[in-house]
Amino acid sequence: MMSLDMTHMTIYVENGSVELFEILRDTSIGILVLRTADCASSASRIMCTLKKLTKLFLWGTYSERCTVQLPKTLECISLQKVECSAEWLCSLFIALSSLEHSVQCEMYDVVLQSFEYSCGGES
């Protein structure tokens, strides 16, 4: 699959496993849609190997720090129906800024968790 030109393909993953994402390692997928935080977590190890990935869609609930290793080719990240902590969102912005080029960030139905919720009720 690594030799196939998949730049014009969009891959939607609802319930992905580490094994599925290992199959996608080093491919030329152009757009990846991860419908849950578990999918994003499973995909995080191979994300930086997707050398042609230009657009990433994330859905789900995120807390703590963003651990997704973003590929240098990313042009747009779209957060869709996301609930996240301020720490996660800030760490995502830091990761995007490390790409050293402009990246469009779309946010639709993004809810920032309250500080108490994201810290487990601790102040």
For the stretch 30-89, pLDDT in tens is 999 999 999 998 998 899 999 899 999 999 999 888 888 899 999 999 999 999 999 999
pTM of the entire predicted model: 0.86
Q: Residue 12: in which H helix or E strand, if any?
A: strand 10-13
Mean pLDDT over the full length of the chain? 87
Residue 70, SS3? coil
3-state SS assignment for residue 36: coil
| Edge-to-edge strands, sheet with 104-112 | 10-13, 31-34, 55-62, 76-84, 104-112
For the chain, the domains span 10-118
Q: What's the CA gap between 101 and 109, in Å, rounded?
A: 26
Look up tokens 């995502």; give the residue: 92
